[in-house]
Amino acid sequence: MSNDSLRAPIRYAEVLTTGQTIALDKAQLLALKFREINVKEAFTLADCHGQFFRAALTAAESGGGKAQIYEAMATSPESSLDLTLFCAVLARQRMLGVIQKATELGVMAVVPVFSEKSVPASGLAHEKAHAWPAQALRAARQCRRASIPRVASAITLAAALETPHFQAANLRYYLDDRAPVGAGLSDQRKPASRIAFVVGPEGGFTNGERTHLAACGATPLRLGGRVLRAETAALVGVALLQHHFGDL
């Protein structure tokens, strides 16, 4: 199975009901193993109608397993919005908190970015970059999400703006506290299925980076009159976009 398949919601081919015991195939068990779900632990899955349920893994063997459905979820734990957060690499291991909270807020991917004022590539080890993907996995389990967001390897801002996550987005925004007052989301809620959201480090983007972002089709977004810490700004922006276009 591909990594993307393992991250996708686990689906069951029939209608599910609470109290039901179901058989799990090898592919479903692989997805649970990817989520680090052990016997007696809970996970989220969807049935053939797209209804989400909570289940407990009751048995797991090499060829298959079993689970008991114990709760029907009132709403989907997944946002209708495919939101990618491009976040400049922050110092003092704050990326761990950003990735955790962004996962809880429903992002589909996080792309750490090297900008002119961010932590450089030489500082990744100190920032525990190796732990970023696991942070997303644990956060997804905690908030009962069905999918696991992808956390990409850190790349330059220029490279990030060439990725499919950015290029395929039908709306692109970047935070800029120097943007004109009122530079925010339009009251008109345009249909948006994929959004790229770019956040800079402490000190923001340079003039050259702002020019590059604008040339790549990104719209500046200003969050009020206060200068927020980078991690605060990232999470406020994600919440704002999910409220405007997604499921918050």
Residue 100, pLDDT score:
98
- The DSSP string of 192-234 is -SEEEEEE--TT---HHHHHHHHHTTPEEE--TTS---HHHHH
Measured between alpha carbons, how far is 161 from 114 in angstroms, rounded to an integer?
Answer: 12
Quickly tell me which residue has 């397993």 as its tokens: 65
Domain over 82-245 is classified CATH 3.40.1280.10: yes
Q: Where in the chain is the domain with CATH 2.40.240.20?
A: 3-72
51 has a pLDDT exceeding 80: yes
Residue 236, pLDDT score:
97
Q: What is the pTM of this model?
A: 0.95
Residue 149, pLDDT score:
98
What fold, for 3-72?
Ribosomal Protein L25; Chain P (2.40.240)
User: Residue 158 is encoded by which pair of tokens?
Assistant: 């220029």
Residue 224, pLDDT score:
86
Measured between alpha carbons, how far is 62 from 41 in angstroms, rounded to an integer?
Answer: 18
Residue 72, pLDDT score:
98
Average pLDDT over the chain, rounded to an integer: 95
Q: Where in the chain is the domain with CATH 3.40.1280.10?
A: 82-245
Residue 123, pLDDT score:
97
- Which percentage of the chain shows pLDDT scores above 70? 97
At 181-197, the pLDDT tens digits run 777 786 556 667 999 99
1 has a pLDDT exceeding 70: no
At 216-232, the pLDDT tens digits run 999 999 998 888 999 99
- Which percentage of the chain shows pLDDT scores above 90? 88
Rg (CA), the chain: 19
Q: How confident is the model at residue 180 (pLDDT cuts 50, 70, 90)?
A: confident
What stretch of H or E contains 10? strand 10-11
Residue 187, pLDDT score:
59
At 17-34, the pLDDT tens digits run 999 999 999 999 999 999
Q: What are phi and psi of 120, to 5 degrees?
A: -75, 170
Residue 179, pLDDT score:
86
